[in-house]
Amino acid sequence: MKKTAIAGAVIMCASTFCPALQQSDRGSQVTRDPIVTELQDSDAFFQTATRAPRPARDNSRRVESLLQRMTLEEKVGQMTQLEIGMVTTGKDQGIQIDSAKLEKAVIKYGVGSILNVKDQALPIEKWHDIIRKIQEASQRNRLKIPVIYGIDSIHGANYVRGSTLFPQEIGMAATWNPALMQRVAEITAVETRAAGIPWTFSPVLDLGRQPLWPRFYETFGEDPYLAKVLAAAFVRGIEGDDISSPNHIATSLKHYVGYSFPLNGRDRTTSWIPENYLREYFLPTFAAGVKAGARTVMVNSAEINGIPGHINHHILTDILRGELGFQGVVVSDWEDIKKLVSQWKVAADEKEATRLSVLAGIDMSMVPSDYTFSDLLIQLVKEGRVPMSRIDEAVRRVLRLKFDLGLFENPTLMAPMASLGTAESRQVSLQAARESLTLLKNEKNLLPLTKDRKVLVTGPTANSLISLNNGWTYVWQGNNADLYPKDRPTVLQAIQAKVGKNVTYVPGTTLDKELDIPAAVRAARDADVAIVCLGEGSYCETPGNITDLTLDEAQLKLAEAIEATGKPVVLVLVEGRPRVINRIVDRAGSILMAYNPSNEGGTAIADVLFGDYTPSGKLPFTYPRTANGFINYDHKLFETEETSFGNTAFKPQFEFGHGLSYTTFSYSDLKLAQKTMPMNGQLNVNVTVTNTGQRSGKETVVLYVRDVVATVVPPGKRVKRFAKIYLEPAQSRTLTFTLGRDDLSFIGSNNKSMVEPGDFEVIVGNLKDKFTLGPGEQTQRRRERLSRR
């Protein structure tokens, strides 16, 4: 029997799909969400999330005294990170610590860090056994320096069996709910620490501006402002105020920087990003993460402008340390020092690659499967080609991280086992999944469906937990069906649980092959409505490369055939990137974008389809209409002008920020406090939002600013603030946002932030107003005095 706590009550659940998690949320019951956000101002949230963490105990004297006692070999050991296979034998659940291997890694080489799972997520007891044995070995070392274990907890503690999984980052972005993001991150931290692991390689702070990229779903979407608020929430949730607490762990901001914008869309390939755009778009999330206190940063595996991330001194040292003030550990990505030779050809051999990357600013190398890094770096120092001061700097950072995490006091510090996979965490995951779901189209209010209708469920993602989760789920590629929990419903099972015998299921196709489309068509003719679940399977990194964003032909054919029956069609898109669907949009009555909502996603989707939850997600990216027609929302104005471009003007399928509800909201009374804003002043913007429909619901209010004329071609608009509010029918709320000089700045062609006086537009919903940014307070006052005369 499971225990489920909802709104203070404890409900016992004996059934497979706990009904307590499925009961009706009609109307005001939305308030029962465990995290009800009345986020009135994203900026206030951001300021709180990036406030300086409580000063940790100052461990610098302990660090220095330890450093002074270390040999070169011991120091280089601390800079070395190996994968778990280097200390274990066996496969899958049969994995065991191999004492001879462990002795070599931890005693002989004194490696500072070990990472990841070998094959698949492990039960918590197994993790305890592995971590304990590794730390026992570390305590037999001369200086007893604990090993720091690191893992990819990407959407929850996904490599710990029984943990709570959450929507992938792209879905979290669609919630526009940073408080929820922070709570999700807190749970991820506890559940990772419960396994004895104090370090996660998350969040991904690459911007999702290239939808072909197979890691698109790992991002917070295309907008730097939304992504930076969520970045701060993620870091604050994982690290809290004190990373030595058993409830918190260290983050790693990745992949610093510019990894997500490959020219050809494939993973780990070339980007061209001029520095002003790098700073304008790709840097702010990392700056926010650093400001929120992040302890480590992982480096971009690819190259930008011809310089691989791992040897880019300007980015790793001048900008990260010099400008952003980062003081933590910079870790390489997987095997990336070797790839400087094998892939990027910027070094003739591994020794030179090691030298270049350590001098550029790498503190720890994810080697990960041999000892070359240690051997070569020792040689380089002995030959005087890498100064001891650089080694000391890196080791100091690694030691400080370990001290601050409390590993010296307790190398196996753990959160209680009981904190894993609790009912409360599951409820948070359900809320996150529900809030992420984005209603893209709803003609004639086809949705919500009444529960008495005969429903056909079809399509390859209808009965797949793998599609609901995507990569980084129990295994790297997320594709081992046996490891998924048996008590979490797929979309089909959740619909069956809700409407019982009125459901027929015919798969129709696999992800890329026709099975029996005519059978699905026959079933559609017999049904009142067809729910067609399309999208993608699971993938991540290079295996997820594609060359065409268009949804697979078999799936398009299935949808077309069902639409041709004339029955109402609801498309449900379960996908990590926006696959092009223009052939099937017009004849679909409703389209629900689900992203990868994870294990509670089936329930959440059924709740929205049948009206037990009112959707509130908004697209965190622009949904392209054609495979070659991709454009971001903050494009230059002329690019979408049909007057200039006719049919070739860019016209997205669905705009960034788009998302419908079962209720309606109207915007009124956009009021700017002044028509001019002094250069260093502030401007209050008020807007009133009213729920004009029949149901209660949540609305994300987004404030955009357009710089009318600027010396660097200005984008049509940029997000500057948002709020997420809950309104009962007929209820209104007036929001006040305060804009300052920084909100009007941009990166000039000299790569510096600048603000230019002149006109700006404020856009909220369908409302617009204008103000002028004055040249300076004194001039402003003088002008005002003059105009009064």
Positions that interact with ligand BGC (CB under 6 A): 116, 152, 201, 254, 301, 333-334, 541
Please provide residue 536's backbone torsions phi and psi, each rounded to the nearest 5 degrees: -130, 165
224-239 vs 284-291: helix crossing angle, rounded to 10: 30
Q: CB of 496: closest distance to ligand BGC in angstroms?
A: 37
Task: Decide if 333 is catalytic.
Answer: yes
DSSP 715: B
CA–CA distance, 702 with 619 (Å, rounded to integer): 12
Q: Are 595 and 659 in contact (CB under 8 A)?
A: no
- Sequence letter at residue 185: A
Centroid of chain to Cα 625? 24
Least distance (Å) between residue 270 CB and ligand BGC: 16
Closer residue to ligand BGC in complex, CB, 111/581: 111
**For residues 368 and 659, which CB has a smaller minimum distance to ligand BGC in the complex?**
368
Residue pair 224/258 in contact by the 8 Å Cβ criterion = no
The rounded distance, in Å, linking the Cα atoms of 388 and 385 is 9
Taking the least distance from each CB to ligand BGC, the nearer of 365 and 431 is 365
Helix (H, G, I), strand (E, B) or coil at 457: strand
**Other C-beta atoms lying within 10 Å of the C-beta of residue 495:** 27
CB of 186 to ligand BGC, least distance (A): 21
Closer to ligand BGC by Cβ: residue 206 or 600: 206
Nearest-approach distance from CB 117 to ligand BGC, in angstroms: 9
- Cα(180)–Cα(86) distance, integer angstroms: 38
Tell me how far, at minimum, the Cβ of 345 lies from ligand BGC, in Å.
Answer: 20
Least separation in angstroms between residue 115's CB and ligand BGC is: 6
Rounded to the nearest angstrom, the gap between the alpha carbon of residue 130 and the centroid of all alpha carbons in its chain is: 29
Which of the residues 43, 223, 333, 707 is marked catalytic? Answer: 333
With tokens 């700006």, the residue in question is 760
The pairing of strands 503-506 and 529-535 is unpaired
Q: How far is the CB of 473 from ligand BGC (least distance, A)?
A: 14
**Whole-angstrom distance, CA of residue 489 vs CA of residue 497:** 9
Rank residues 367 and 606 by Cβ distance to ligand BGC and give the closer one.
Answer: 367
CB closer to ligand BGC out of 214 and 657: 214
Q: How far apart are CA 362 and CA 342, in angstroms?
A: 19
Count other Cβ atoms within 10 Å, centred on residue 666: 13
- CA–CA distance, 704 with 262 (Å, rounded to integer): 27
Complex with ligand BGC: residue 201 or 613, whichever CB lies closer: 201
Beta strands in 174-319 (DSSP E): 199-200, 252-256, 270-271, 296-299, 303-304, 307-308
* Smallest separation, CB 373 to ligand BGC (Å): 16
Q: What is the dihedral of CA 340, 343, 347, 348, to 10 degrees?
A: 140
**Would you say 463 or 479 has its CB closer to ligand BGC?**
479
Task: Give the strand pairing for 2-6 and 9-13.
Answer: antiparallel
Angle 471-84-256 from CA coordinates, rounded to 5°:
55
What number of residues does the chain have?
789
Active site (catalytic) residues: 333
